[in-house]
Chains A and B, each alone.
Chain A
Amino acid sequence: MMRRIAPLQIGRLGKAFSFAFILMSFIWGVISFVTFGDIYVSWLLLGFNLVVSGLLAFILYRHRYHITLVYDAEGFELHEGTKVIAGKWREFNRVSLFHRGHGDLCVRLYYKEHPEEYVELPASALGLDPSEFRFEIMGFVRGKREG
């Protein structure tokens, strides 16, 4: 049975918003300084900046940061924004739980043919229990290896 996991990733949305807000503020600062010789600020401008940053952040999040994982007993598809990585469990032989820092855990799958190359399935970002998710993936990989 196909399983699809795509929760709203608040942290990643926040990252996109921060990036958009800083970028918009910088652009306004440059335009304002060039035009008026000073950096003009007001509550209205802040509100406008927040709205535009929100829209930009949403677009950025959908196209770059949002993660969707679709998998079944045969393989998986990982969408990160518009980038897609797909694989079959039979292509892998080793599974590990990897800590990317700041409590962000993922499941690493090492390719059989190229033992140094791997794919990371971001368990924490998808709101999954990393340890349980690792055991589930180990079951798929082992099943394909023995089957």
Chain B
Amino acid sequence: MEVREYLSKLERNLILGSGRWVANFNESFRDFLLGGYSFAMMVRGSTRSGGFFLSRLFATLALPDYNVACFVYAGEVKKSTLQTIVGLLRKYMQENDIRWSWLVVPREGPFSEGLKDAVSRMDFREIGVALLDLTSGEIHTNPHMGRKMIRYVRF
């Protein structure tokens, strides 16, 4: 699968597909610029969904209301780049009141062991990081948020 095709599938899945079980992802930006880095895609939303009267009432009464986002970085990634990107995401999340984010790094080919190791050691709860090899379908994530996002970002 090519990156462009993957982006379309992920966008559709988050906005109209199973992603809706996690949050109401409702807005997608392509070529999103952040701190000098160009993210192939950024999808944002909130945990409170819309719907008709009863589902809206249920959402208001029972669901928490906070902002979430999913970033996709399709450029070349090294350990230092990944750390910079995560730092940028943290800053962006603070500025925009985003409670948690996913960062997906898709690539047509395997990732280096060093990079996988770096992701495994990213032990934070507010950002899920996933390295996705589009050729083999292999995915490597960080421990907490990362594991939960697998089923929504791998096809």
Which residues in B have their C-beta under 8 angstroms from that of A96? 27-29
User: Are B16 and A94 in contact (CB-based, < 8 A)?
Assistant: no
Query: Is the CB of B120 closer than 8 A to any CB of chain A?
Result: no
Would you give the shortest CB distance from A110 to chain B, in whole angstroms? 10
A98 vs B15: C-alpha distance when bound (angstroms): 9
Nearest to A94 among chain B residues (CB) is B29
**A138 to B16, Cβ gap below 8 A?**
no
Residue of B8, B25, B50, B51 near A131 (CB, 8 A) is B8
Determine the distance from Cα of A97 to Cα of B8 in the docked complex, in whole angstroms: 12
Q: Looking at chain B, what size class is its interface with the partner chain?
A: 10 to 19
Q: Determine if A97 and B50 form an interchain contact, defined as CB atoms under 8 angstroms apart.
A: no
Q: Which residues of B contact A103 (CB under 8 A)?
A: 16
A99 interfacial by beta-carbon distance below 8 Å: yes
> Is A108 interfacial (CB-CB < 8 Å)?
yes
CB-based contact A99/B11 at 8 Å: no
Which residues of chain B from 1 to 37 have a CB within 8 Å of any chain A CB? 8, 11, 15-16, 25-31
Tell whether, in the assembled complex, residue A98 and residue B26 are in contact, meaning their CB atoms are under 8 Å apart.
yes
What chain A residues lie within 8 Å of B25 (beta carbons)? 99
**CB <8 Å contact, B26 and A134:** no
**Nearest CB on A from B13, distance (A):** 12
- Listed in ascending order, the chain B residues whose CB lies under 8 Å from chain A are 8, 11, 15-16, 25-31, 50-51
Q: What are the 4 closest A-B residue pairs judged by CB atoms, nearest first? A: A99-B26, A97-B28, A101-B50, A96-B29
28 A-B contact pairs sorted by A residue (CB < 8 Å)? A94-B29, A95-B29, A95-B30, A96-B27, A96-B28, A96-B29, A97-B15, A97-B27, A97-B28, A98-B26, A98-B28, A99-B15, A99-B25, A99-B26, A99-B27, A100-B26, A101-B26, A101-B50, A101-B51, A103-B16, A105-B15, A108-B27, A131-B8, A131-B11, A134-B30, A135-B30, A138-B30, A138-B31
